[in-house]
Amino acid sequence: MANRLLIGLSKATGGIEQRKPALWSRSADLPRIPERDDDTRTRDCLMLRDMKSKSLRICVAVLSALVALCMVTACGVTADQAGTTKTTFMLSWAPDTNHIGVYVAKEQGYFAKAGLDVDIVAVSQAGAEQAVNSGVADFALSNLTNVAQYSLKGANLREVLQVQRKPSAIWCSLASNTSITRPRDFDGKTFATFGASESDAVIKRMIQFDGGTGTFDKVTVGTSTFQTLSSGRADFGGFYATWEGVQADMYGPKLNCFTEPDYGVPGNADTIGIIANEKTITDNPQFVRSFVQAAQQGYRYAYEHPDEAAEMLVKAAPDANLDADFVKRSMHVIVEGQYWGSPQDIADGKLRLGARDTQQAQEYLDFLGQAHAYTDANGNTVDTVPQADQLSTDEFLS
C-alpha cells in the first residue's frame, strides 16, 4: 500500500473528485500509468503498492526514452549566470500533504537561500522512481519500500530524507456494511485491489492475526476504491488515514477501518520521504545536501505551522484545486498523530525531523521477504531481502 488512492477536493462543490490511479506504490512490480486529463487527479497511495506493470521490456523501453529525453533537454544539475542551481523535484502523483515540505521550502525561500531554483513537476509516465533513476528528475517523493523493491530490479536509488515514521495505511469497509466489524470478517469477502502481492500479504496477515483463515476474493479497482465499495463490487479496500481517512470523516462515506500494527504487520511500510539516485549523490554531494536541508526546513516549518503550510500548498498548487479546510485537517491529523515523529522530541533536539528509521523499515522489508512478495525485473519471485541501511542515509540532514 504505498501510493494508494489519490483524491481531489473540489473548491466549487466542497466535495471530492476521485482521480485515476496514482503511481507511488509499495508494489514490487514496475509502474504503469493511466492517462490523465484536466479533471483526473488521484491519490491512491494504496495503489503505491499496487500499480506497477510486470514487463521488463516496457521498463527498458521507458528508461531508454527517459534517458534520450534527458539528453535532449539537458537534464541534470545546471547553474545559471547568477550562480543559482536549477533542479527538478518530481511529485509521486498529485500535490498533497506528503509533499508539503517541498512546497513550503520553495514558498518560504529556503531553496532560494540555498542557491537552488527548484521546479516542482508532475509525475512522469514512467513514475517518479524511474525518473530519478534515469536522471530525468533530481529528486522525488517515494518511500523506502519502493526503493528496496526497485533495487531488486537494478535501480540505484537511495532515500535521503525520511519524513514519515509510522504507518498511515488503513484497511476499511464502509461503515454501513455491518457484516465487517474486525479483520477476520474479511475472510470470504471481496478485496478491492490494484493487483500487488504486497497488499495480499498484508491482508492475509491481518486476517490470520485476528483468528481468520486469510482467504478472500479480489476485484480490480477501476478509478476509485470508494466507488468500488459503494457499488457493492467489493467489501473492503485500502486507504490512508492522513488523506482518505480525512475525506471520509469530513465528506463521507463513513468507514470502518483497521490498522496494520494492531493486527500483526510489523514495521513501517509508509517510510515516505525524498529519494535521489546514487550517481547524483556521488557526483554532487553538496548539491544533494543543499536540497535536503532546505526541504527538511520546509517540513519542519509545516509540522510547527500546519495551517500556514496548508495555505501555502493550496496557493502554490492551484491546478490541484485543493480545499484549504481539507488540507489543514490533513496536516492536523499528521501532527496530532505524530506521523513525522514526536513534535516535542524534535523541538528538544532529541529527534531530527527527516531522520531515517531503518529498524522499522527493515521489519517490514523482512515481512515482505517471508511472504515471497519480491520480484526481479523479469517478474520472477526472489528471496533476497533488501537492507534498509544500505538504501537510505542521514548524511545530508542538518
- Whole-angstrom CA distances from 307 to 91, 126, 162, 198, 332 are 21, 33, 22, 35, 8
Q: Which of 34, 68, 76, 71 has its CA nearest to residue 51?
A: 34
CA dist 330 and 243 (Å) reads 6
Partner residues linked to 90 by β-bridges: 121, 140
27: its cell numbers: 508494489
pLDDT confidence of 80, banded at 50, 70, 90?
A: low
Give the pLDDT confidence score for residue 77 in this predicted structure: 57
CA dist 175 and 58 (Å) reads 40
CA dist 67 and 134 (Å) reads 6
* Tens-place pLDDT, residues 277-300: 999 999 999 999 999 999 999 999
Please, are residues 255 and 172 in contact by the beta-carbon 8 Å criterion? yes
261 prior amide bond cis, ω within 30:
no
* CATH homologous superfamily, domain 67-166+270-390: Periplasmic binding protein-like II (3.40.190.10)
CA dist 99 and 239 (Å) reads 18
Read off the pTM. 0.82
Q: Which residues of the chain form CATH 3.40.190.10?
A: 67-166+270-390, 170-263
Give the pLDDT confidence score for residue 54 in this predicted structure: 36
Kindly state the percentage of the chain with pLDDT values over 90. Answer: 75
Buried (b) or exposed (e) across 138-168, using 16+ Cβ within 10 A?
bbbbbbbbbbbbbbbbebbbbbbbbbbbbbb
What does the mean pLDDT of the chain come to?
84
5 vs 348, which has greater pLDDT? 348
Give the pLDDT confidence score for residue 1 in this predicted structure: 38
Question: Which segment of 3-7, 47-51, 191-195 scores lowest on mean pLDDT?
Answer: 3-7
* Tens-place pLDDT, residues 197-252: 899 999 999 999 999 999 999 999 866 899 999 999 999 999 999 999 999 999 99
Is the pLDDT reported for residue 68 higher than 60?
no
Q: Which of 23, 105, 27, 24 has its CA nearest to residue 272?
A: 24
Q: What CATH number labels 170-263? A: 3.40.190.10
Place of cell 526514452: 65
Strand, coil or helix: what is 287? helix
Q: What is the mean pLDDT of residues 13-24?
A: 31
